[in-house]
Amino acid sequence: MAIYLQNPLILLIVAIVPVLETISVILQVLSGMFLGKRMFKMAPLHHHFELTGWRENKVVIVFSGITLLMAIIGVLS
């Protein structure tokens, strides 16, 4: 779809959850290397939410909802 519409930024919108998961790992590693402390309790991001008290089912539902919403926005844009 992104190639057909000649708009590769749609991929960032539709795939926001994997992008955020990847960014959280990168930030965790960089903050550990340069600041000596962690940004998150654990990376990737879904583990951080689990350690803060969210149940796995809630994490899956929230991330799926975000993915669905962003997919709709991506298709409509």
Q: Supply the pLDDT for residue 16.
A: 93
Q: Supply the pLDDT for residue 7.
A: 81
Instruction: Give the span between the Cα atoms of 14 and 41, in whole angstroms.
Output: 26
In a domain, 58, yes or no: yes
In a domain, 3, yes or no: no
In a domain, 55, yes or no: yes
CA distances for 2 relative to 7, 50, 73, 76, 77, angstroms: 5, 33, 13, 12, 11
Residue 18: asked if its preceding bond is cis (omega within 30°), the reply is no
Q: How many domains does the chain have?
A: 1
In a domain, 1, yes or no: no
Domain region containing 56: 9-76
What's the pTM?
Answer: 0.82
The tens place of each residue's pLDDT in the chain, 77 residues long, gives 777 878 888 888 889 999 999 999 999 999 999 999 999 999 999 999 999 999 999 999 999 999 999 989 988 87
